[in-house]
């Protein structure tokens, strides 16, 4: 029996957070870098309207998602986590991105886990449904919602999420730190079970 239920966001968490930037710079004739992306909403960094960014995304979404690079060590550590824990991929991507997302997982040989494309940034209900023990996320607002609802959140560091943390959120800087935190949670859960708390 696997130990923990781990919910994992995809974009900016498993993927490199700025994989959209090169194509967006070319499309909008911009020259922004990761240092310019200090808010999650990409259109603000590009100094364009939300509608303009949505138009760009609707044209290139499949290409962007299909060519996204993995964060360093994400693949081997996901494989390690998958041996002991249940993995659920919970993303705000639209359901229409299901096929390209599955192909990307296959090509990158990532562990199979249940995939939920919510079409919304609100992930609390899905986390409850999945009895999530740890949620790995990059969007600050999502992390706050999840932590406020009682979930342990690992917020993977990005230029756009460097705000004050609240109880329940731990900032991590890479996938090696994520693995350490999950191992600590596993040890804590086993201790609680042994003394009859859980």
pLDDT per position as a tens digit, 129-184: 999 999 999 999 999 999 999 999 999 999 999 999 999 999 999 999 999 999 99
Backbone angles phi, psi at 106, to 5 degrees: -65, -50
**Where is the domain boundary, 48, 67, 86?**
67
**Number of domains forming the structure of the chain:** 2
User: Model's pTM, two decimal places?
Assistant: 0.94
State the virtual CA torsion across 71, 37, 20, 8 in degrees, nearest 10: 40
The arithmetic mean of pLDDT across residues 49-75, rounded, is 96
104 and 59 part of one domain: no
The CA distances from residue 132 to 7, 73, 135, in Å, are: 6, 23, 7
pLDDT at 198: 55
The arithmetic mean of pLDDT across residues 84-102, rounded, is 97
pLDDT at 2: 80
Q: Which residue has the higher pLDDT, 189 or 42?
A: 42
Of 39, 42, 44, which is closest to residue 19 (Cα–Cα)? 42
62 and 75 part of one domain: no
Which residues pair with residue 117 across a beta bridge? 91
How far is it, in rounded angstroms, from Cα 127 to Cα 122? 10
Going by pLDDT thresholds of 50, 70 and 90, the confidence category of residue 197 is low
pLDDT of residue 68 exceeding 90, the answer is yes
Instruction: Provide, rounded to the nearest whole percent, the portion of the chain with pLDDT above 70.
Output: 98
111 and 28 part of one domain: no
Which runs of consecutive H residues, i.e. helices, occur in the chain?
21-28, 42-46, 50-67, 74-84, 98-107, 124-129, 140-148, 175-194
Going by pLDDT thresholds of 50, 70 and 90, the confidence category of residue 13 is very high
pLDDT of residue 115 exceeding 90, the answer is yes
77 and 35 part of one domain: no
pLDDT of residue 1 exceeding 90, the answer is no
31 and 84 part of one domain: no
Name the residue range of residue 148's domain.
5-16+70-194
């Amino acid at each position: 029996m696997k130990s923990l239920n781990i919910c994992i966001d995809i974009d900016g968490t498993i993927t490199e957070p700025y994989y959209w930037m090169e194509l967006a710079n070319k499309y909008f004739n911009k020259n922004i870098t990761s240092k310019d992306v200090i808010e999650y909403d990409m259109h603000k960094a590009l100094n364009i309207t939300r509608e303009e960014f949505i138009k760009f995304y609707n044209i290139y979404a499949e290409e962007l998602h299909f060519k996204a690079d993995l964060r360093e060590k994400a693949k081997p550590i996901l494989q390690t986590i998958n041996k002991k824990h249940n993995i659920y991929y919970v993303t705000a991507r639209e359901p229409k991105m299901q096929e390209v997302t599955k192909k990307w997982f296959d090509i990158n040989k990532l562990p199979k886990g249940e995939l939920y494309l919510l079409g919304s940034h609100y992930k609390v209900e899905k986390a409850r449904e999945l009895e999530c023990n740890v949620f790995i996320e990059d969007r600050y607002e999502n992390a706050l919602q999840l932590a406020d609802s009682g979930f342990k959140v690992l917020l993977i560091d990005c230029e756009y999420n460097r705000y004050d943390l609240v109880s329940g959120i731990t900032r991590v800087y890479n996938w090696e730190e994520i693995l350490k935190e999950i191992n600590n949670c596993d040890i804590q859960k086993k201790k609680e079970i042994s003394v009859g708390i859980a």
